Structure 1
């Protein structure tokens, strides 16, 4: 398997978006859209390839060569060009004739520059396993970030490890596992197992180079279309050289692969993750040596046709094959396993099979993740007009003072209204008596100019102006009470994770070697 010619955007996205690379368009915190950015004009739109969302249209020309995290404004897209036929206008002598391909390319060679819309925006984010989990095309239920982060930590996955994943599904765990084991792209097939020797031109021998084990993920999927689609996605993300996707029924066929020479090539797995409906039936292939017939009978006896959520054909116990047993595990180190099961009945059968096959340190965990929003809560009448605060009375004294201010302004208002009414009645009586009544000037009772009364409680406008002035001297980050609330929208599954460890085999030769070294 040849190494990827370009680094994957999941490992090295660079500082800016690039053509033919994956980008994530973030519309809201939990609403993301994946897009392979393209500079090609091969589109139904005059602006080139366009991503249409509920918050506006975003041509790829506005997304390319942008720094990650940039806010991209929506564009006005000429939707009238959408679906235009690439045919010439029909004439009298060429009815039904189509435009040649080279003429179409000449017409669509230049991309129309999109105009900025009056509203709508999105943020351009680099791809990562976390963002990909939130926006990937769902083919099955996926393993979300709270689950796979804990799983990889408990499995002690490190760069350079080999990990088996059975039940790939939509590929959420696959992308996270690749990042965890990545320590460089795989080497050419000519340097398998680290024995790298070559003859020099003058007959001199070249010393063997120390082999560096590269991390790899071996992914198994029973459903052929899902396996094919996952493999295409990994190639598109430039992860194909790090993941081996196999369409297989691991219940019957196990985990060992075949090399190009037709021989079995074990994955030498250091960690195993089984997201299967009946994981206990796959454990017989995850041992150091061939299980005895009695152990196989005990393991397969736990099979129950009524097991919920079973996908694929009902597994049937088969007798051991006569061919030599080849383990899929790394013989030089302990192997850790995790099974992902939604039902406690599945957990019971899995634990029983693990005990029969020699797994130790068996432990079950249920992930109950919650995200907490921590903020400062500012309450008081002095917070009126300030963003993020609650402008209500914080104490009884504040409430009483506000009532006094309201009653004081009402009393003054009614007093002015009474004076105005008295003045109007006096002028009306003077007119009846035939007296000459002067016109009311601005500022007098009944005039248009507002009368400023000394000692009048502050109005809402006065309070807002005072709050703006005080805001220049206030340290808001120190004020208020620290509170938190639970965010219920966090995506996760109610599932049971079973962890176990299979120690390495300790042979007589290992004992003698250790005795010579330490005695």
Structure 2
């Protein structure tokens, strides 16, 4: 029976396909788009700005027309356009010139990433920040092609990070990765709040993540994780990674089992993470996970502390620095005394009407201290933040092993492939020792040796019986 090649979906061969999201591929130059550019104003203060030709960005550092951002490569520094003070503030300023523009500052314009988007998010809900999301994705084993369930999308912080981790091409082939019929990585995101789900759909569409992220307005604690199409078709995410950011995750866990209509991947193990701020929630979640067959349950709390790396340039005496050694202190003291003598001689010369050569404060630069104004660099130093970041949530991880039938289990045991799999230690605890390869070979050698010895004894017995028969015939 001939099989036909898989055909791409509608739009995969359309030359006017939408571009690849800037969250996946950094553009060479910024263009007007609904996908925002990230304007870096100062440390820990970013602003997401969808670029438009006629729009203007007003900041404390000045006025920035969007046209000054367009066509620049990401990472460029942009100076504010010369602007005039507000007429209401004219009375507070000295009017030296009517045409004198106000002082201007600068900003940096960046391409969007999941981390920069998180730092610029409006706090619609509690945000999953980068230290947590990166650790969660690592523990869940999310990789290109993974199917991820996210319950409690909120502001979409984790949604963008998970989409980037699972991304291996658009279903319509717009990124040039081709269409070979394989399943592309996808994030199945569920949100209970209707307004937040609507807002998140708009952001996902504007950011070019359609096809990679699917937003569903649904109460997963009551209705589960299956997705219902308008035509009445039921779709299973077939997920191999689950992230629950819910007030009561233990109510959603019963829907994450391997039943006939399961939302989980039936051919692989599934990893789960719950995000809970209270230890009471963690206790109930762990009990429910064990009740429904999840194993290797662990709870982790992350404490984030940032290291600040700076280049330290030694200060001179003009900057308020003191001597660093006794020799340097003596040199400075000698310079001070010389300065006093020069000043006394100057006063005497001026009173007598004579000319005097006064070196002034030259001793400060002739003290033997190494100068750093000739292009030399200082040393790199690192400093920890004085305080740890406050607690966010407890992260509870667990694994749901792949289910095997009794026939598959017996076949794996006969082949010796059950070593290191789930259930091996449990069999040992129950007294059912699992025979190692070395012990099996030793047993087979012993059985073979016994069989050979038995054949030798049987042959010797037959020979003795024949000799006895011959003797009886002779005697007769």
Q: Shorter-chain-normalised TM-score: which range?
A: 0.7 to 0.9
- Determine if the alignment matches structure 1 residue 280 to structure 2 residue 181: no
2:383 to 464, 479, 485: 485
1:90-101 matches, within 5 Å, as none
For 2:165, the equivalent position in structure 1 comes to 180
For 1:198, the equivalent position in structure 2 comes to none
For 2:120, the equivalent position in structure 1 comes to 135
For 2:32, the equivalent position in structure 1 comes to 19
For 2:337, the equivalent position in structure 1 comes to 407
Greater relative CO, 1 or 2 (CA 8 Å, sep 6+): 1
Q: Using the alignment, how far apart are the partners of 1:501 and 1:172 within structure 2? A: 24
Determine if contact 2:332/2:363 at 8 Å carries over to the other structure. Answer: no
3-state DSSP class of the match of 2:80? strand
Change (3 A) 1:484 1:464: same
For 1:349, the equivalent position in structure 2 comes to 284
Q: Using the alignment, how far apart are the partners of 1:514 and 1:415 within structure 2? A: 102
For 1:458, the equivalent position in structure 2 comes to 362
1:232-243 matches, within 5 Å, as 232-243=202-213
CA positional deviation for 1:146: 0.8
- Determine if the alignment matches structure 1 residue 359 to structure 2 residue 294: yes
1:37 to 51, 68, 71: 51
1:322-471 matches, within 5 Å, as 325-375=260-310, 377=312, 379=314, 383-384=316-317, 391-418=321-348, 420-421=350-351, 423=352, 440=353, 444=354, 447=355, 450-452=356-358, 458-460=362-364, 462-463=365-366, 471=373
For 2:69, the equivalent position in structure 1 comes to 63
3-state DSSP class of the match of 1:476? coil
CA positional deviation for 1:12: 1.7
Determine if contact 2:332/2:367 at 8 Å carries over to the other structure. Answer: no
Determine if contact 2:312/2:381 at 8 Å carries over to the other structure. Answer: yes
For 1:213, the equivalent position in structure 2 comes to 183
For 1:146, the equivalent position in structure 2 comes to 131
Change (3 A) 1:210 1:418: closer
Cα-to-partner distance string for 1:200-223 (whole Å, 9 max, x where unaligned): xxxxxxxxx964120110111111
Mind listing any 5+ residue stretches in structure 2 that lack a counterpart? 1-8, 12-16, 87-99, 174-178, 418-476
Cα-to-partner distance string for 1:266-308 (whole Å, 9 max, x where unaligned): 110110111111111111111113xxxxxxxxxxxxxxxxxxx
Number of aligned residue pairs: give it.
385
Determine if contact 1:2/1:241 at 8 Å carries over to the other structure. Answer: no
Q: Which moved more, 1:408-417 or 1:231-240?
A: 408-417
Q: Using the alignment, how far apart are the partners of 2:369 and 2:399 within structure 1? A: 67
Determine if contact 1:158/1:181 at 8 Å carries over to the other structure. Answer: yes
Determine if contact 1:266/1:327 at 8 Å carries over to the other structure. Answer: yes
1:259 to 229, 251, 255: 229
Q: Which moved more, 1:170-179 or 1:247-256?
A: 247-256
TM-score (norm 2): 0.73
Determine if contact 2:335/2:367 at 8 Å carries over to the other structure. Answer: no
Change (3 A) 1:63 1:375: closer
- Determine if the alignment matches structure 1 residue 476 to structure 2 residue 377: yes
Q: Using the alignment, how far apart are the partners of 2:22 and 2:314 within structure 1? A: 46
Change (3 A) 1:76 1:377: closer
CA positional deviation for 1:495: 1.5
Cα-to-partner distance string for 1:193-241 (whole Å, 9 max, x where unaligned): xxxxxxxxxxxxxxxx964120110111111000100011000001122
CA positional deviation for 1:475: 4.8
Mind listing any 5+ residue stretches in structure 1 that lack a counterpart? 40-47, 81-114, 189-208, 290-324, 424-439
Determine if contact 2:331/2:367 at 8 Å carries over to the other structure. Answer: no
Change (3 A) 1:513 1:117: farther
TM-score (norm 1): 0.67
Q: Using the alignment, how far apart are the partners of 1:228 and 1:510 within structure 2? A: 46
Cα-to-partner distance string for 1:92-147 (whole Å, 9 max, x where unaligned): xxxxxxxxxxxxxxxxxxxxxxx997411111100000100011222111001111
Q: Using the alignment, how far apart are the partners of 1:119 and 1:498 within structure 2? A: 49
Change (3 A) 1:283 1:392: same
3-state DSSP class of the match of 2:158? helix
